[in-house]
């Protein structure tokens, strides 16, 4: 499996994205309830940014994930890493 496939698989396991879609919430709705932009929510879902402590707590309440911070950190640790290229 190449890095691109690993990244796609990793992103699809995002706890924000999975729970938000399972609850049939739009990213705009999540953003409005948290007082952030839709772009910020999308950045969290793509792994390009991370919610701060207060946002993590609010996400946990909104999405019904009591252990949201633990789920988020577990997801981040699974991020695919490029393989090191051996020096010549």
* Reduced 3-state DSSP string for the chain: CCHHHHHHHHHHCCHHHHHHHHCCCCHHHHHHHHCCCHHHHHHHHHCCCCCCHHHHHHHHHHHCCCCHHHHHHHHHHCCCCCCCCCCC
pLDDT at 45: 85
Q: Report all structural domains of the chain as residue ranges with CATH numbers, in order of start.
A: 3-76 (1.10.260)
Q: Using one digit for the tens of pLDDT, what is the confidence trace for 35-82?
A: 999 999 998 888 788 888 888 888 888 888 766 667 777 777 776 665
Binned at pLDDT 50, 70 and 90, residue 18 comes out as confident
pTM for the predicted model, two decimal places? 0.65
């Amino acid at each position: 499996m190449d890095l691109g496939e690993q990244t796609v698989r990793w992103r699809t396991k995002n706890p924000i994205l999975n729970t938000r879609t399972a609850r049939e919430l739009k990213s705009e709705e999540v953003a409005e309830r948290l007082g952030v932009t839709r772009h910020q929510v999308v950045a969290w879902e793509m792994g390009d940014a991370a919610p701060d402590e207060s946002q993590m707590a609010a996400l946990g309440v909104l999405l019904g994930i009591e252990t949201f911070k633990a789920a988020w950190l577990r997801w981040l640790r699974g991020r695919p890493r490029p393989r090191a290229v051996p020096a010549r």
